[in-house]
A and B are shown apart, each in its own frame.
Chain A
């Protein structure tokens, strides 16, 4: 258990509404990530953060924004939710240093349904 929690765990929303998902870690890790998981695609990186207020885009960032005002919290916002954003969202942290020891650990996920 890498001390990662995600909230909410389940969310149903309507097209066009903004949605914010929260990732919280308890161990002060520098790197945090947001992924989405869809059938046939594995996990795809949305955005990541390498420190407070330091964020960058991943592979599928369109329609998403992120913020990190504290080390422990990484927020993912769907600015105007669309049905194509129905997915399971996972937050991850990077633990360890050095090529042979660095690993990402994942939170339990948020299941989002956009109607």
Chain B
């Protein structure tokens, strides 16, 4: 049973518009959430994170929102740029000492020029 789900395998957005990527989780013990971006033939790169005690975190064009009651988080990219085209993974960390991450299956974002 997947504890972290990204239900949209792909998303296309026009350059300059907003991209919204969604992620749902089932484990209420997750206390920290992260978004990673991955280009082909490269490792995932960290993008932005949010603690479970917050509901929003912003870093430049990237904002992550957390709705704990709905067990839902989203990543907003404004404005979207062609270089943002990549696979985006959300990840959640449990409260155990090993700091293990559980990943969603990813969303392929394509930003059209």
Which A residues fall within an 8 A CB radius of B? Answer: 4, 31, 33, 35, 40-45, 48, 50, 56, 58-59, 90, 94, 99-100, 102-109
Contact A31:B42 (CB < 8 A) given known A42-B105, A99-B31? no
A sample of 30 cross-chain residue pairs with beta-carbon separation below 8 angstroms, ordered by A number, consists of A31-B98, A33-B101, A35-B103, A40-B105, A42-B4, A42-B103, A42-B105, A42-B106, A43-B91, A43-B103, A44-B103, A48-B98, A48-B100, A50-B97, A58-B100, A59-B102, A94-B99, A99-B31, A99-B53, A100-B32, A100-B49, A100-B51, A103-B46, A103-B49, A104-B34, A104-B91, A104-B99, A107-B43, A108-B43, A109-B42
Q: Is the CB of A105 within 8 A of B98?
A: no
Q: Is the CB of A99 within 8 A of B44?
A: no
- A34 CA to B14 CA, complexed, in Å: 36
The distance from the CB of B35 to the nearest CB of chain A, in whole angstroms, is 11
Q: Is the CB of B104 within 8 A of A42?
A: yes
Which residues from chain A contact B99 at a C-beta distance below 8 Å?
31, 94, 102, 104
Q: Is the CB of A56 within 8 A of B104?
A: no
Give the B interface residue count (CB, 8 A): 28
Which residues from chain A contact B98 at a C-beta distance below 8 Å?
31, 48, 50, 56
- A41 CA to B2 CA, complexed, in Å: 9
Q: Is the CB of A106 within 8 A of B51?
A: no
Residue B28 CB within 8 A of the other chain: no
Q: Is the CB of B32 within 8 A of A43?
A: no
- A31 CA to B100 CA, complexed, in Å: 10
Q: Is the CB of B43 within 8 A of A106?
A: yes
- A56 CA to B100 CA, complexed, in Å: 11
- A55 CA to B100 CA, complexed, in Å: 13
Residue B89 CB within 8 A of the other chain: yes
Q: Is the CB of A43 within 8 A of B51?
A: no
The distance from the CB of B46 to the nearest CB of chain A, in whole angstroms, is 5
